[in-house]
A and B are shown apart, each in its own frame.
Chain A
């Protein structure tokens, strides 16, 4: 959300009321703005101390889709309408006295299509800047560059003193060595190639160089006398720069996205057209494209849409008449009229300053904002449904509570960890097919999504050295594995993990914790190949995370599948033949952690660990 800084006295002057901070905060809240800061107290304190001080400013956060609110001119226009003090202005195109034939023409060359294909422009005639409005004009361009322009990569704006230039203009793209001009703030001419080098060390401009640097041609705008206007999106020329005295302003915008380009040119022109001798008028230009087609720019024609009172009411639990809605929408700078044909409909004319409106739902929102969200009727919906916990959450909670009752403490480590914590610290090689890897972590702490709960538990023990022994920690949470069969190429798996740390390793302690979990899940201990239907058992294993001879694998024998008769028969046959152990699946490991693992995690006491997959215990319906 962009934050803008506006002159407090000037804004209140325009709103025709001197608000207290609380009053203004409340007005902002209702409109959907947020008053971040009022610098009045700060300024007064500075003046008291005899320090230089600016005029008091209001810092206001505005919604990211409301580009019409990022300058003093726009925000005061919107709030005046909201307060019902002024109908929204109607922006119009003012053609030169000779009509269309006298329009300033800009020809777009074919080469521009390779680097920055879209172009739009506008002229503001007989403008009168004050130092405040001049600063606001520069600031608006900067806000648009940063936000919708995505740091000038999508859209860039150039503004020029039209009286220093000779139309018609040409928007071209040339090789960097074929461009030479004196850029803003410099008296001598440089080639574009030189400028790219000069600006390398410029704190402000260096951020934009990458947008065109590697292109074989750079965008450039010329007038009829080959004066450069600007080299978008980097810099304007010194020759055509605007000053406080500038009377006629030419605005150029170039872009890689046509929709955003139109929004930007409309925004700049409409916001500052209020300073023209004839306020809210914009002189258009004619753009000739490489294919010979032409376009009058800017296109500020309001978009006309239909909004239904019945729809707005059905979305808000209100019963507003179309004419009430009409006045609500007018307060939001829209221009609605009642439909002559349909008593339910309003014909809403959307000004070019409101490109945030996509759908009838956006008009409904404007009506609701003007009505006041906090004034809506206090009701409770009728929607009747049955509560249902997620089976895996319920299952995990059973074991969480049992283990806590058994004296174990729940830990909550991070799910992301470093590659070595997940693999080499655990003596486990990375097969490459297991863990999901992060491309752009800011720190080495977050390189992979964990495939085991144990590293997090071991880090928890490491950070709790001062805790009395034994330390008993557990976690029931998700790990993630690569899974190429799935759309998202990965799957979560709910695991249960625990680590015991004390003066002796205590294999039997974590074994007991496993037995307890199984008892609570009614999974009996069975023997390998003993023909029982369902159960678990452990067997010596070889996971390198554990001490040799003190490592075990946990096996689970799921209940026989009941999905088909044939399966049942097959299972029956297997049972009689005592070959059912091929149904047994590995669900986890337990053991005494290897001393080299402890060393990696900087733990000086022996530990035993347990980890197994919980998903197999979900009741299948």
Chain B
């Protein structure tokens, strides 16, 4: 039917070049012109289908029309209530029909409404306990009018009659449309169905050459992909990791969340009474609570430099507590791992062999006398650290620390700054400056500030420094070996990258999976 209608429209246009009023069309299978509302809706469908192929264009005209209510439809089918009441009654002189029987004959509703109207029109009369016909012929105007309205959508009789039918709730007004149709750019009387997509069958049969294709809606969204996603923080981690690798750094093992006071603080020359070691800042362990003794010679040297000084330092000159040193805790910084790594790096300088390198030990005489065993190293790590903090929008009890460490002979403060300028330039931060700061294990210590072009101010992005001789000398490094370190948080750059202001939406189980799925890639 749809195709027939489309064909009819095209044929009409072919002969008349313009179809002025779509209401004049006779829809195939219908006997009368398509004047009703529903018929125009059907025509609109056909027009849109042709429009999408640019075979036609059309203009829309608004018109107000009337349609029958269910009661109106019933009247068209069966006659008006009053006519049905009249028809059910006997001629005058016959046995009058009681009200009860009338109801039975035409139904409650029709009897009630029809009885009144038939009386008013003088069609029926009361006789005894019943009703009879008062006239022998009637004209059922309501029925005629509704039939006219059903077929044409309006009444020749005009607005007054329409208003009366509306009042009786037999018809309702409805906005309608009709159309004027013109030939389109691709006008043709042939309606080959357009293809929506190129298929394997078309390729096989070659039908793609002759097919027309439906216009593609370029404004629609594509179909979402079904793949998974990596977490945004870990995407930033990967990007920073590649920066270190690009710069020739080796990744340090950091798989020790549990550390002792010795490795987390003492080895770094953090005094035993330092505020960072207090209970309100650090998670201490109840089970297990105490570490096994660290390497004894090294432990003695560390304790001595704290308590009495040494290596040209006066030390802290405060009593040393073994208990404090052996306390187990969750590391507050990855520098604890760096300390262990540096201790290992200095093994050969101490004359030890902790890597199982037998040749070095078996041939002491063969070694170059000027070789003290030191080898330069550039190390990095990115891993979790823990602070006993109350969580809020910018603080978490666990977060990721990024740390870079460089050990070489005669490194200078300018070298450290040079490393950081290169590193942060790779992270997109070109304008840096450095503020003197205090940190117990580095001297000098530098806070790193970057110019934030959007906030238009300097923001602190990390800390850095040269590890103190009191930390390096007990490990066994020669005096000319200097070690640089710098650290930044991983969460802060991630928050800036993704415009997140509450860190809890980024780390932890409250992160929205949807956010993870929709976080863009990271390229500094």
Interface positions of A (Cβ within 8 A of B): 1, 29-32, 34, 63-66, 150, 154, 257-260, 303, 314-318, 356, 358-362, 364-365, 368-369, 373-374, 376-381, 383-390, 392-393, 397, 400-401, 403-416, 432, 436-443, 446, 449, 456, 459-460, 462-464, 467, 471-474, 478, 480, 482, 484, 486-494
Contact = CB atoms under 8 A, between A and B. Distances in A.
Interface in B432-451: 433-438, 440, 443-444, 446
Contact of B312 (A257, A260, A314, A359): A359
B286 A437 contact: yes
Given A413-B508, A463-B509, A449 B414 contact: no
Interface in B299-326: 309, 311-319
Interface in B304-358: 309, 311-319, 328, 330
Interface string B380-424: 000010101110000001100000001010111111011101100
A365 B291 contact: no
20 contacts: A34-B435, A64-B438, A65-B440, A314-B412, A315-B413, A315-B482, A316-B413, A373-B434, A380-B422, A388-B251, A390-B251, A410-B516, A411-B509, A412-B233, A412-B234, A437-B286, A446-B397, A463-B511, A488-B256, A488-B260
Contacts of A478: 255, 257, 384
A397 B234 CA distance: 10
Contacts of B509: 411, 413-414, 456, 459-460, 462-463
Interface stretch (B114-122, B123-131, B463-471): B463-471
Given A387-B244, A480-B257, A361 B511 contact: no
A405 B412 CA distance: 45
B283 interface: yes
B435 A416 contact: no
A245 B432 CA distance: 51
B406 A381 contact: yes
A467 B436 contact: no
A385 B411 CA distance: 14
A386 B247 CA distance: 9
Interface stretch (B36-44, B79-87, B147-155, B221-229): B221-229
Nearest to B281: A440
Contact of A381 (B249, B275, B408): B408
Given A260-B318, A388-B250, 10 more contacts: A259-B316, A359-B312, A373-B436, A383-B415, A387-B249, A397-B238, A409-B229, A413-B508, A463-B509, A491-B256
B414 A379 contact: yes
Nearest to B440: A65
Given A257-B318, A359-B470, A413-B508, A387 B248 contact: yes
Nearest to B264: A488
4 A-B pairs closest in CB distance: A32-B436, A63-B438, A459-B509, A317-B414
Contacts, number: 287
Contacts of B466: 315, 361
B376 A383 contact: yes
B446 A373 contact: yes
B229 A315 contact: no
B8 interface: no
Contacts of A460: 509, 511, 513
B286 A439 contact: yes
B316 A409 contact: no
Contact of B435 (A368, A373, A384): A373
B418 to A, nearest CB: 4
A390 B256 CA distance: 14
B230 A404 contact: yes
B231 interface: yes
A1 B244 CA distance: 31
A407 B438 CA distance: 48
A442 B230 contact: no
B412 A488 contact: no
A441 B388 contact: yes
B157 interface: no
Contacts of B263: 488
B156 to A, nearest CB: 59
A30 B446 CA distance: 11
A315 B294 CA distance: 31
Contacts of B422: 380
A414 B507 contact: yes
B249 A385 contact: yes
B418 A380 contact: yes
Given A358-B470, A365-B436, A389-B251, A487 B292 contact: yes
Contacts of A443: 390
Nearest to B247: A387
B313 A358 contact: yes
A211 B180 CA distance: 98
A64 to B, nearest CB: 5
A27 to B, nearest CB: 12
A388 B380 CA distance: 10
B279 A440 contact: yes
A404 B413 contact: no
Given A257-B318, A314-B410, A492-B256, A437 B285 contact: yes
Nearest to B409: A383
Given A373-B436, A407-B226, A488-B258, A473 B397 contact: no
B148 to A, nearest CB: 55
B414 A386 contact: no
Interface in B256-300: 256-260, 263, 273, 275, 279, 283-294
Interface in B494-515: 507-514
A391 to B, nearest CB: 9
Nearest to A438: B283
Given A32-B435, A359-B468, A386-B250, A412 B507 contact: yes
A439 B285 contact: yes
Contact of A463 (B260, B436, B446, B510): B510
A380 B419 contact: yes
Contacts of A361: 443, 466, 468-469
B59 interface: no
B377 interface: yes
Q: Counting chain A CB atoms within 10 Å of each CB, which of B246, B312, B444 scores highest?
A: B444
Q: Counting chain B CB atoms within 10 Å of each CB, which of A414, A432, A443 scores highest?
A: A414
B517 interface: yes
A250 B410 CA distance: 50
B70 interface: no
B444 A405 contact: no
A488 B289 contact: no
B298 to A, nearest CB: 12
B417 A376 contact: yes
Given A315-B466, A365-B444, A407-B228, A446 B412 contact: no
Contact of A489 (B231, B291, B316): B291
Contacts of A439: 283-286, 289
B514 to A, nearest CB: 6
A506 to B, nearest CB: 16
A365 B469 CA distance: 13
Given A359-B313, A488-B260, A381 B247 contact: no
A492 B337 CA distance: 13
Contacts of A150: 273
B482 A436 contact: no
A378 B260 contact: no
A439 B513 CA distance: 33
B415 A385 contact: no
B513 A384 contact: no
Contact of A442 (B317, B376, B390, B433): B390
Nearest to B269: A358
A368 B470 contact: no
Q: Counting chain B CB atoms within 10 Å of each CB, which of A317, A441, A484, A494 scores highest?
A: A317
Nearest to B468: A361
A407 B230 CA distance: 10
Contact of B438 (A65, A471, A484, A490): A65
Contacts of B66: none
B292 A385 contact: no
B421 A362 contact: no
